Amino acid sequence: MTAHQSSSRAGWIAVVATICIWTGFILVTRAGGKGVLTGWDVTALRFGVGALIALFFLHRVSLPPLKVIALFSLFGGIGYAVAVYSAFRLAPAAHASVLMPGALPFATAVIAWLWLKQAPSRPQRIALALVFAGIVLTAADTLLYGAQISGMQVVGDLLFLCGSSSWATFTLLLRRYPVSPLTATVSTTLGSAVVYLPIWWLLLPSTLDQAPLAEILMQSVYQGVLVVFVAMLLYTRAVRHLGPQAVALLMAVVPGLSALAAVPVLDEPLSLLALAGLAAVTAGAVLGARQAPKAI
């Protein structure tokens, strides 16, 4: 096996594992959307538990300059988490499946075009069109069979899009400031915790003392361990080996996978529209990943 093949294989393993964790994130947060904890509390558990793990690995990394830590923390940590967890309190979690990972390839492509002057190639534009068709089909399924859309749900949807754009910016920052996956994960997690936790403790509303222990443990383990640390470590590794636009397109399969998983896990039916959306998104993601520029 050549070095290039080994690198590509490592990237694919990392991105598949990340997709599984992100799919579980949608389901876990959907199931706990009506829990006692506020979105501010879930964000605090995300960064608090993640920071404890990051401290364990701190001696193994050389932290990047403060400017890079601040950018990583703003877009890959606080900005993303605050937008997403606030949105989960306002909009149905089914919308999250479409608007977060589904919008990621578009946000990444647009920001790369405007910021890095990297216009998508023709095959990538075709891939984006397929992903867009899949998102429209999935969104149509949500609108036709879901609850009536309210004004607050629209605000929540906009917050989901803000979260997706924040993560897209973080994805491109990982290529703009290349560091090892462990360094990116540790610096983002610790930087986010140092800024966010004091603000949460002093200023933000909390129901942590009222929440059942089982709910706290579930959110702590999944959000703080799997999502903020393990998934971020895998995600940065995937971006390093496959490139940001390829990874962003591959993450677009999460809406369909979460819809499929919701059938046995949450007893939510899956319509033909949702299945068609899954097929289109998957085809676009695979095409885009094959045509994206190779990472260095």
At 182-191, the pLDDT tens digits run 898 899 999 9
Cα separation, 53 vs 11, in Å, equals: 23
Our CA angle for 103, 134, 250, nearest 5°, is: 55
Mean pLDDT of 111-140: 75
Residue of higher predicted confidence among 233 and 193? 193
Cα separation, 260 vs 279, in Å, equals: 12
What pLDDT shows up at residue 212? 87
- According to DSSP, residue 37 is labeled S
Task: Render pLDDT for 35-91 as a digit per residue (tens, 0 to 9).
Answer: 678 878 888 998 999 999 999 999 888 899 999 999 999 999 999 988 888 887 776
Question: How buried is residue 6: exposed, middle or buried, by Cβ count under 10 Å (0-12/13-18/19+)?
Answer: exposed
Residue of higher predicted confidence among 134 and 292? 134
* Cβ atoms < 10 Å from Cβ of 248: 31
Of the given ranges (12-26, 96-110, 179-193, 196-210), which has the lowest mean pLDDT?
A: 96-110
Mean pLDDT of 115-131: 75
Quote the pTM value.
0.76
